Every structure is written in structure tokens, then in C-alpha cells.
Amino acid sequence: MKDTPAKRNAKPIIHLVNVWKTYHMGDSDVHALSGVNLTIGRGEFVAIMGPSGSGKSTLMNQVGCLDIPSKGEVYLDGQDIAHLTESDLAQIRGQKIGFIFQKFNLIPTLTAKENVMLPMIFQNIDPDERTERAEALLTLVNLQDRMDHTPSELSGGQQQRVAIARSLANEPEVILADEPTGNLDSKTGSTVMDFLRDLHEKKGTTIIMVTHDAHVAKNADRIEYLRDGQIVK
């Protein structure tokens, strides 16, 4: 599924207006983001590419409500999150955004099912529903026979599929994937991308993915390039 005018004109789920992120380093100011303007429509699959140090991680932190800008506006589903408190940001993250990380970030002492259930605890989901939903999500990613295994008992590809299931735990509107295939071999990485494409195409989930791999980026509807803290053509 590729970019179409209808998808580009869909109601924005993410909208950044003149976003700056400045870090004070001694006597110097370092601009990690320099006036970024970016709109992502509901249901889009967007890849963000750029060299090391271009500001990709900083941009993902803004989009994912993990940080607020030094200047500018960040809208998530029409709400400006740029001036919210950390507790309000955390609540929005839990409700609207699912995260998939390159290093999986699973809790090593928890089973696959317990890892998937964890985000639901913070949203006060009923225990029975947590269990039912976690089992359904692990079945969705073909790990129904690994639910009671800890991360150390799973392959890298299986751990990433647990991470995908966990990202869906609270039925988020947006999935943020930071180098989701970076620690995987090409075959396993292709399997992970198949899951992400299916989520996008069959469920209409908005996916924003940071990647350095042009082949992986081709799975997206469109690619945005970041250089020196700015979106470039």
C-alpha cells in the first residue's frame, strides 16, 4: 500500500509546527531540531531516514510524547502536547502510542505474556481482560507456544514479535518503531516488517518508523529525510 492523495489529505494524527529542540552545552547551544514542520495523516505509514546525528531520535521523542520542544507546537490527534506536564504526557503515551525499540526493551524476569500485559496494568485494565488480550496478541504474532517463556529463552526475532505485541496492548492509534529490524538478520527482519505492514494495511494503524535501511524504508507509504535537524526534500 503506497502513498495516495487521499491518505496525504487524511485528518492529521501528528502535526509538528516549527519545532525546535535546543540543548545547552556549556557556552554553546546545540540545535538537535531546527524548525521542523511535519504532518502525518491518520492511517499513514511513514519512514524517517537520515544520517547519524541528523536528529531522528530527537524527532521520535517529540512525536512519541517522550519530550517537549524548546520552541514550536506538537499536536497529537489535535491536542498540543508541547506544554503538558510529565504525568499528562505519560497518560497520553499509554493511551495513544505504542513503541517498538531496536533493543526490544523487554523485562528479562517476566514471561512474554507478562511483558505484553505490563502496559495494560498502568491503564488499569481488568486482570482477566489483560490476560485475554495478551494471549490474543501473542497468537497474532505466532507466539502462542512461547507465552510462558522469558526473553532469554526466545530468539531475537521472537523477542521483537513480543515487543510488537506489547506495543499493541492498549490498542494505540500510533505505532512508533525505532530501527525495528536493526538487531535482526535480513530474513527475520522481513518477517517483522510483514507484521508491521499487516497492521497498517488490515487495521489501518498509523506507523512511524525510523530506519537507516533504504530497503526497509520502502515498506512505508512515504519517506521523510532528516538532515541537520531539518526535514529536507
Mean pLDDT of 199-222: 92
Task: Express each pLDDT in 15-62 by its tens digit.
Answer: 999 999 999 988 889 999 999 999 999 999 999 999 888 999 899 989
Residues 60 and 36 sit within 8 Å (Cβ to Cβ): no
Nearest to 132 by CA among 174, 94, 169, 96: 169
Mean pLDDT of 221-231: 94
The whole-number pLDDT of residue 5 equals 45
Q: In terms of DSSP bridges, do strands 71-76 and 12-25 run parallel, antiparallel, or are they unpaired? A: antiparallel
Residues 30 and 200 sit within 8 Å (Cβ to Cβ): no
CATH class of 43-67+85-232: alpha beta
Quick one: pLDDT band at residue 1, thresholds 50, 70, 90? Answer: very low
Nearest to 168 by CA among 196, 197, 124, 137: 137
pTM confidence score: 0.85
In sequence order, what E strands does 115-189 have? 174-178
Residues 148 and 156 sit within 8 Å (Cβ to Cβ): no
What residue segments make up the domains of the chain, in order of their start?
A: 43-67+85-232
Task: Express each pLDDT in 107-118 by its tens digit.
Answer: 999 999 999 999
